[in-house]
Structure 1
């Protein structure tokens, strides 16, 4: 299962700018085949979905193809795939819909490790119906969110647990299957934020134990879009707010307005490209995706370890990404320097590594960093050893 990073980099026009890019957790750069797929849809006949005209058939084919691709990526059925503008929008829609089934005194569990898009929608939906929100803590010394942290705030009144599969701030990958077992044992649903996770690992809805999860193709080489994956039978039980003439069919019941067909085509192209990142692998697209993520995880983890060794050798740097199981994402601060200034210094040396809390505000506060956060270095499949060496050289110059 070889992975050719140079072949992937050759497909990405933005990398010709010359910067060493460590901003992938905020969105990856776009390969040419994805760009071409978006352009092709916009250049051809297009209309609202149907089966009569060429434009209608084109739109229908795009939607069907994108659902199949994202179902393969997330390990569910096409009928369980809902598209939206962003993961945040889809989470808000889901929270408002599920809240219709909650009563005053019911409880919802969120965690301090999560991105705010997996905290605030649930808090606001609970407040609207008089439900109580209970917050699970994590260990700031290690960055770990353990199942016992969730268990401590569960009760017989818990209706939903919302948890991340990977922290976009420090990379922590909690034991989601164990958390799912606890949540379901209390009679609650489990919603998983897989936005950061899906960029680095094989997503398996059933394997995670999730009832619903969200991800975003622009985090894994695709266009800006949100995806909700669920068991179709669960979607059948939910009644979202929608227009009267719109369909009751699942999953279209949850999709408001006309879908962005060009972005769906780009998302499918991104999944197809990912499935081909381990050349020589045969099998279904799902099987090739699993092989590809195995290969890219190994590549990214080796680069992460190279960065960690380099940071340790420089001294005077505090690293907050300490969990035993984590994505190739490092949050750090350079002693004696404001993180925003460190980020500017790196940019001047051709290294893109932003500073902030990145909407994981609760986690940043819990780490004692405040809303300003710290510097985040995030790897992508197209990252290479030269990028890492440039990062470490720029930091060494700052330390000197």
Structure 2
């Protein structure tokens, strides 16, 4: 298994700038086939969905293809794929849908590892319902979730467990299936933030044990939008507020207003692009995705090792906070006595894009007492060994 990096990189016009991008966790660069799909859909012919004119059928096809693509990517039925403006918007929407039945005395369990988009919506929904929030803590020595604290947080009153499949700052990948199984034993629902995870692994929503799973295509080469996956049977049990004339069918009942057909087309093209990275002999798109993402994982592991070894070679001036045994190719670091924003600017002047901040990870930064801002370097499919060396050389020069 191998990805042809030269061929891969040729599809990204932004790489012609000569920049080395390590800001993938905040959003990847866009390949031309994705942009072409967006432009082709926009320039149509295009109308609102229907089956009469070619322009109506083009819109309908964009929706159908989108659901089919994300059904293959996430291993869920197409009727369980919901489009949203962002993962944050979807989580806010579904926090309101789910909290309709919560009452005082009910409890929810959240994780200190999570991006605030999988924390604040649930806290605010719990406050309105009078429900209590419990926490899964982080082990500061390993930056993994403390599952003993999870056991203490769970009870027969737990209505929901919300947890990330991978931390957007530390890269930590918790044992989501183990967490989900225990939640289900207590009769609780499981909501999984897969925004960072889906950019680095083949997602299998049923295997994870997630009742609802959310991700963002712009983290894996697509346009800016969000996708939520769940079983159609479960989605049928939820009754959102909606316009009277709009469809009450699942999943349309959760999608408010006219869909952005061009964005859906771009998001579908991103899945096809991923499936073509190293498709192997697969006949189905799911099989091609599995082979390609295995190769991508191997590629990122090599680069992550090179990056972490190089950072450790810089000595005590660099502290690496990404320590979990299972983690993505994302590294969070602080620089002894130095401002990470100054490091970001120094790297940018050398054509290396690595952002500084806390990246909406309020809970991890607070729980681990991390210095804000910290510097984050995250790998994406188009990164090379030369990119990594440029990052290391730039940091060495800064220090």
- Which TM class, normalised by the smaller chain length? over 0.9
CA RMSD, 1 decimal: 0.9
Q: Which is worse superposed, 226-235 or 335-344?
A: 335-344
Q: CA deviation at 1:64?
A: 0.2
Q: Distance in 2 between matches of 1:392 and 1:179?
A: 37
Q: Distance in 2 between matches of 1:6 and 1:14?
A: 14
Structure 1: gaps spanning 5 or more residues: none
Name the structure 2 match of 1:121.
Answer: 121
Q: Secondary structure at the match of 1:152?
A: helix
- Listed as ranges, the matches of 1:1-400 within 5 Å are 1-315=1-315, 316-370=317-371, 372-399=372-399
Contact 2:135 2:149 in 1 (8 A): no
Contact 1:24 1:219 in 2 (8 A): yes
Q: CA deviation at 1:358?
A: 0.3
Q: Which is worse superposed, 250-259 or 240-249?
A: 240-249
Q: CA deviation at 1:76?
A: 0.2
Number of equivalenced pairs? 398
Q: Secondary structure at the match of 1:210?
A: coil
1:251-273 deviation per Cα after TM superposition (whole angstroms, max 9, x unaligned)? 00100001100000001000001
Q: Secondary structure at the match of 1:325?
A: coil
Contact 1:147 1:178 in 2 (8 A): no
Contact 1:146 1:174 in 2 (8 A): no
Q: Distance in 1 between matches of 2:170 and 2:152?
A: 23
Q: Distance in 1 between matches of 2:343 and 2:115?
A: 23
Contact 2:279 2:291 in 1 (8 A): no
Q: CA deviation at 1:369?
A: 2.1
Q: CA deviation at 1:283?
A: 1.9
Q: Secondary structure at the match of 2:278?
A: coil
Q: Which is worse superposed, 283-292 or 146-155?
A: 146-155
1:167-194 deviation per Cα after TM superposition (whole angstroms, max 9, x unaligned)? 0010000000000111001110000000
1:270-314 deviation per Cα after TM superposition (whole angstroms, max 9, x unaligned)? 000100111443221011101111000000011000011001111
Q: CA deviation at 1:373?
A: 3.3
Runs of 4+ in 1 over 4 A off after TM superposition: none
Structure 2: gaps spanning 5 or more residues: none
Q: Secondary structure at the match of 2:3?
A: coil
Q: CA deviation at 1:146?
A: 4.1
Contact 1:12 1:29 in 2 (8 A): yes
